[in-house]
Amino acid sequence: MADKTKKSSMYDNVMKQFNYAADVMGLDKGIRKILASTNSEISVHFPVKMDDGRIEVFNGYRVQHNNSLGPYKGGLRFHPTVDIDVARALAIWMTWKSSLVGLPYGGGKGGVTIDPSLYSMNELERITRRFTYSLGENIGPDVDIPAPDVNTNPQIMAWIADTFASTKSPSTRMLNLHVVTGKPVGSGGLKGRDRATGYGVVASIKSWAKLKGIDLSGKKFIVQGFGNVGFWTSHFMLELGAKLIAVQDASGTIFNENGIDTETLHNHVGNNKGNIAGFSDAEKIDNGKFFSLDCDIIIPAALGNQITGANANDIKASLIAEGANGPIDYDGERILLDRGIDIIPDILCNAGGVTGSYYEWLQNKRSEDYNIATVLKMIDEKLSEAFERTVNTANKYNTDWRTGAYIAALERIEQTYMERGVFP
Ligand code: NAD
């Protein structure tokens, strides 16, 4: 549970990654300038009435990085570390991610600077609705489509959809509900969107294992974060016969050499305000020991900048699969690459989420209803293609996989600009 979430550093990190890839591929200078800045940055301050009648004012953000490939797309995070730099970094990653996977989207991201555990459900509903109202026409089904991220969930998406649609003409209500994805299934949500990101993380790990000729059965893995991404990733890893030996979340770190059952831990978390602390089938260990545990695979699925120059040398795993966005900083990555540790980069590894979101959006636009098997098959196809494209591009440029993924993403955007030009 490294507290290295220095707010500006996620942005520094994404820009270092971008500049490095742009140099390696020789990205057109003009397009490089366009992509180095964001298209728009919305910062809102909005009042909300608390349960006891007090008024509090909250800060919210939405950063829209680039929409050359389609409407902005990306999550909303409710967390104390959210600020304009965090939103900026996460929005930029979304542009690359959508491009890499071949989706018709650009990149956006945002959130509210808040610790949601300090508020009642009624207060959270009012905060969400007023934030949505403050964003106004800056979001919309063909403009910018938010989705869940840290501390936001289908319920919050349902409130956003309802607020957005309710502030439009009643006759267009059904045309506006897909302003967000990750909604509950009863409100137009996609069957399988809940597990889409974790399923995609495991699909990428399977592609890695196939490439390396590795059998995942019996492999030991550890997961940081046991929310949506951490839980579902662990669930699908266990289905392959892999063994979860440690989990870390905001409440602490637990370890069991014999394996932790994901469903039992999930039930515990559900009854314990979302926390793993106090789980009886594992021992509590120091947070500082987590990344140095003896294991084969590390799956960060929490916040950014967790593996850095300070702890990259301690890592014993041979693969890090980035469920989270930006969990490895630039310096940490240089050390890991020198040590020959494989990294499946976030813009590939966790792209199952936005891919699931795309099918939800499409289902809403077409008034269709996809079944879960179809959804998971479509995620499998998109991610295995993107994995292959990443590895092939990295090989072509004789570079690492993150840079390969960036180049594959940037080539698609570069081509669009070359074809359409820059107005006027
Ligand atoms: P979540 O809110 O469901 O879970 C977050 C988890 O992180 C919780 O278990 C929490 O305790 C833990 N956590 C918070 N602070 C921590 C700290 N300092 N140290 C250790 N653990 C900490 O969020 P999520 O949706 O699972 O998202 C997790 C990560 O995955 C984020 O980086 C997010 O951007 C990324 N991601 C999510 C999706 C998605 O579909 N939800 C898609 C792509 C990427």
CB 233 near ligand 1, within 6 Å: no
Q: Give the position, in ligand 1's atom list, of the atom nearest the Cα of 303.
A: 32
CATH of the domain at 283: 3.40.50.720
What's the gap in Å between 324 CA and the centre of ligand 1? 6
Which residue, of 310, 325, 349, is where some domain finishes?
Answer: 349
The total domain count for the chain is 2
Which residue, of 349, 367, 388, is where some domain finishes?
Answer: 349
Question: Model confidence over 270-324: pLDDT tens digits?
Answer: 999 999 999 999 999 999 999 999 999 999 999 999 999 999 999 999 999 999 9
CB 250 near ligand 1, within 6 Å: yes
CB 181 near ligand 1, within 6 Å: no
pLDDT in tens, the chain (424 residues): 444 444 448 999 999 999 999 999 999 999 999 999 999 999 999 999 999 999 999 999 999 999 999 999 999 999 999 999 999 999 999 999 999 999 999 999 999 999 999 999 999 999 999 999 999 999 999 999 999 999 999 999 999 999 999 999 888 887 888 999 999 999 999 999 999 999 999 999 999 999 999 999 999 999 999 999 999 999 999 999 999 999 999 999 999 999 999 999 999 999 999 999 999 999 999 999 999 999 999 999 999 999 999 999 999 999 999 999 999 999 999 999 999 999 999 999 999 999 999 999 999 999 999 999 999 999 999 999 999 999 999 999 999 999 999 999 999 999 999 999 999 9
pLDDT at residue 70, rounded to an integer: 98
In angstroms, what CA-CA distances link 379 with 18, 27, 245?
Answer: 26, 29, 27
CB 262 near ligand 1, within 6 Å: no
CB 2 near ligand 1, within 6 Å: no
User: Does the residue 344 lie in any domain?
Assistant: yes
Give the residue numbers spanning the domain of 153: 40-185
Q: Which helix (H) or strand (E) holds 107?
A: strand 106-113
What's the gap in Å between 229 CA and the centre of ligand 1? 7
pTM for the complete prediction? 0.96
CATH of the domain at 91: 3.40.50.10860
User: Does the residue 356 lie in any domain?
Assistant: no
83 and 123, same domain (yes or no): yes
Q: Give the position, in ligand 1's atom list, of the atom nearest the Cα of 302.
A: 7
Q: Give the position, in ligand 1's atom list, of the atom nearest the Cα of 196.
A: 40
Of all protein residues, the one whose alpha carbon is nearest to atom 40 of ligand 1 is: 353
- State the DSSP string of 52-95: TS-EEEEEEEEEEEE-SSSSEEEEEEEETT--HHHHHHHHHHHH
SS (H, E, C) 168-214: CCHHHHHHHHHHCCCCCHHHCCCCCHHHHHHHHHHHHHHHHHHHHCC
142 and 207, same domain (yes or no): no
